[in-house]
Amino acid sequence: QVQLVESGGGLVQSGGSLRLSCAASGRTSSGYAMGWFRQAPGKEREFVAAISWSGGRTYAADSMKARFTISRDNAKNTVYLQMNSLKPEDTAVYYCALRNGYSTYGLNERGSYNYWGQGTQVTVSS
C-alpha cells in the first residue's frame, strides 16, 4: 500500500503564492508519475499538473501553466506544486495522486491514478 500526504495549503491573499508538497511512503513501485488535481465546492475534480518519474516531462492545465509549476525530488519521494499569482477561483481542495510506472500517457486523467492523498485546502481571498 502507498500513502500520500499533502501539506502546504492554507489561506492566502489574491496575488500571493503557496507551495504544496506531497510525500509518498509505503510500497511504491520502482517508478511512478505524480499528479495534482483540485476540487472546488460543487465542481468536479480537475487536473492541475503532472510530472513523469524522471521529472523530465511536466504537464499542466492550460489555465494554470503560466502560474503553477510542478517538480519532484525522488530522493525524498516528494512532489511539489508551486502556485503563484493565486486567484480566488483557485480556491479548492488540492489532491496529489500517484500512478505506477514510467508511462506519461493520460496523466491528465484522474482515472489513471492508483493512489490519492487526502487533500489540502487552499483558500484565496480577494
- pLDDT, one tens digit per residue, over 34-54 is 999 999 999 999 999 999 999
- Among 36, 40, 44, residue whose Cα is nearest residue 97: 36
56: number of Cβ within 10 Å: 8
Q: How many CA atoms lie within 13 A of 117 on its CB side?
A: 27
**Could you identify the residue written with the cell 465546492?**
41
Which one has a higher pLDDT value, 61 or 29? 61
pLDDT exceeds 90 at position 81: yes
- Work out the pLDDT band at 27, boundaries 50, 70, 90: confident
* Of 79, 84, 91, the residue nearest 65 (C-alpha): 84
* 78-83 sheet: strands from edge to edge: 2-7, 18-26, 78-83, 68-73
For the chain, what is the radius of gyration of the CA atoms?
A: 13
| Integer Cα distance of 125 and 86 in angstroms | 9
